Amino acid sequence: MAFRLPARTIWRASPKFAAIPRISTQAPRWKRKYAVSTDENRTAIVTGSARGIGKAIALRLANDGYDVCINDIATNKSGADEVVKEIQALGRKSFAYIADVSNLSEVQGLVQASVSELGPLNTMVANAGIAQVKALLDLTEQDLRRMFEVNVFGVYNCYTTAAKQLISQNTPGKLIGAASIVAFKPFALLSHYSASKWAVRGLTQAFAMEMAEHKITVNAYAPGIVGTAMWDLIDEKLGEKTGAKKGDTIKKYTDELIALGRTSVPEDVAGTVSFLAGRDSDYMTGQTIVIDGGIIFT
């Protein structure tokens, strides 16, 4: 008859084994170094934040405890001023700065003004962008150039200027850019817009690799069909091409494409940006997160 002794009994009974020290398998407790302490004042710049997704992001970050620099172009100044008032009503500092993100010197002025007014920079949200509905063969050189000036050069200008500021401060930080579901699957009649958002994905990944040594994370968010002025324009222009009534194109997309059965609202996107700007995403970089209700599955 065989006898089996528990492993603990053998360990205690054998002098040979008893002399061997036990090795702890507990994982080391790494200290997280990327996040900005919640005890410190946190500041963020949100471009294109006078309305729509940018506004929702700015308000969400203010609710998260950030002082926020609101940026937009001159034609949207009144909207930017209103967002500033809303943020100040939440008890956070805010001011508006007019700048065109496609102009590097204006972005540099934006970052300098934010640091001067609010303090050291923590987070840059390169949200500003434009869209245009047009068939590929109808595009002009200027159409293509302007799309890339705003959507690609604009993100590059924001990323690089904010990164240089963070490095000069010797502080970690977050760079966050606006991509789109068309950065994964282009839409017809949105070809150059789609191409610009693919470029944002590429820039985000490249910056993530080069900024990692500075403890700067770089990620992007990819909204789907959102109830904003941009998508109202897309709906209208696509309707002109197809003969659909206003609102019918978005309804068709919603019914046929979106798994959750509703178009997005700006606050859906703002919640994801809040995560990317916060401490829980400290170990994430180079990613583009899709928030589309289930159109694109990655």
Residue 278: what pLDDT? 97
Q: Does residue 193 carry a catalytic annotation?
A: yes
Residue 104: what pLDDT? 98
Per-residue pLDDT reduced to its tens digit, 81-108:
999 999 999 999 999 999 999 999 999 9
Q: Assign domain 39-225+265-291 one CATH number from 3.40.190.10, 3.40.1180.10, 3.40.50.720, 3.30.70.260.
A: 3.40.50.720
* Domain extent listing, the chain: 39-225+265-291
Residue 14: what pLDDT? 47
Match 């068939």 to its residue by tokens.
135
Residue 26: what pLDDT? 47
Residue 191: what pLDDT? 95
| Straight-line distance from the first to the last Cα atom of the chain, in angstroms, rounded to the nearest whole number | 58
pTM to 2 decimal places: 0.85
Select which of 193, 221, 253, 283 is catalytic: 193
Residue 36: what pLDDT? 47
Q: At 133, list the tokens.
A: 């509905």
pLDDT tens track, the chain, 298 positions: 454 545 444 344 444 444 444 444 444 444 444 444 454 789 999 999 999 999 999 999 999 999 999 999 999 999 999 999 999 999 999 999 999 999 999 999 999 999 999 999 999 999 999 999 888 999 999 999 999 999 999 999 999 999 999 999 999 999 999 999 999 999 888 999 999 999 999 999 999 999 999 999 999 999 998 877 777 777 787 777 778 888 777 787 788 889 999 989 999 999 999 999 999 999 999 999 999 999 999 8
